[in-house]
Amino acid sequence: MGKFLSEAQIEGFARDGFVSRLPVLSPAEVEHLTALTEAFERERPGDTSWAFDIKANLLFDWVYDLGRHPRLLDAVEDLIGPDILMTNATFRIKNPGSHVDYGWHQDSARIEVTPSFVIAYVALSPATIENGCLQVIPATHDRVRPFSLTEGPGQRKRLVARVIDVDSTKAVNLELEPGDVAIFHGNAVHGSPANISAMRRVAILYDFTPAAGRQNIGTGSGQLVRGSDPHGHWGHEPVPEAGLTEANVLNRRRILSTYHENVLMGPRLPGETVTFPDRPY
């Protein structure tokens, strides 16, 4: 028995590469986080496209705080051990009628991490088949599959890996209620289809990496959120101030410019200029 997960759930993760429907947040917590999300969208609509993207945990103190939620970290610890870095947080929002289709991919395809990181999908709204819930192909986390590169939907200039040969008949739909969490292995083949419903789908995705992990290309960075880091394989990131402050924006820009070879941005190609979502400057 782990801190949060049962032995059956831990064994299932080792076998299938994911565990789902973990009740982490209370209804009051979901309501509070939803209010913060919607308030920012309402008050600063011109900033959501970049501020809700890569390393949102460096911009919003409440996104950082959610990533340190004790129940969430207990579940993560059961899977990757006690020394945990938060290496990314990004919003995944699909509005009604959105045609965005995140094709089959592995987050670790372009830069592998050993031991692997995990991704936690924190649902702030229902995730259903109709509104484009996450889908995972079980037992695909053992290795990186052959892939092709394409420009990601809604992610201008960012190359993303798409797995070439997928048996989609084996896909499992991870339907969730608000406050539920699904955690999947960095190698797990996953995707999510378009939102064909009238219901908005809102989630925050976190990457959690064991401090002992190492990238096979470049150096990543993260915030130490549990345990210690005696290894020194990662650059350490600052804790954000309250609000979307100038200091937070500049710190995120500095981190992404310094540690630009990370699993979200991929390896730097010959002659490539480092680009990432940011405010106009």
- What gap in Å lies between CA 21 and CA 23, rounded to an integer? 6
Once rounded to an integer, what is the mean pLDDT over residues 227-251? 96
Number of domains in the chain: 1
Helix boundaries (H) for the chain:
7-16, 27-43, 48-51, 61-67, 70-80, 246-258
**What's residue 149's pLDDT?**
78
If you average pLDDT over residues 243-272, what whole number do you get? 92
Q: Is residue 200 part of a domain?
A: yes
Please report whether residue 91 resides in a domain. Answer: yes
Residue 277 placed within a domain: no
122 pLDDT more than 80: yes
The answer on pLDDT for 28 being more than 60 is yes
| Least confidently predicted of 116-130, 144-158, 261-275 | 144-158
Asked if 263 contacts 240 with a C-beta cutoff of 8 angstroms, the reply is no
Over residues 12-17, mean pLDDT = 98
Residue 164 included in any domain: yes
Strands (E), the chain: 18-23, 84-94, 102-105, 113-114, 118-123, 135-136, 147-151, 159-163, 172-173, 180-185, 190-192, 201-210, 214-215, 221-226, 235-236
C-alpha distance across the termini of the chain, in Å = 51
Structure-block tokens of residue 162? 């798409």
pLDDT above 90: percentage of residues in the chain: 79
Cα distances from 174 to residues 40, 96, 156, 168, in angstroms, run 28, 19, 27, 14
Mean pLDDT of 171-186: 98
Domain annotation covers residue 140: yes
Residue 14 has pLDDT above 70, yes or no: yes
Average model confidence (pLDDT) for the chain?
Answer: 93
Q: What is the largest CA-CA distance in the chain?
A: 51
pLDDT at 261: 93
CATH number at 241 reads 2.60.120.620
pLDDT of residue 88: 98
What is the mean predicted confidence (pLDDT) over 41-50?
94
Q: Give a yes or no: residue 232 inside a domain.
A: yes
User: 113 pLDDT band (50/70/90 cuts)?
Assistant: very high
Q: Shortest CA distance to 72 belongs to which of 208, 163, 172?
A: 208
Q: What is the DSSP letter of 176?
A: B
Two tokens, residue 271: 């002659």
Residue 278 within any structural domain of the chain: no
Report if residue 176 sits inside a domain. Answer: yes
Q: Which residues contact 138 (CB under 8 A, 6 or more apart)?
A: 15, 16, 17, 18, 170, 172
Cα separation, 166 vs 52, whole angstroms: 29
pLDDT exceeds cutoff 90 at 2:
no
**Which domain, by its residues, includes 13?**
7-258
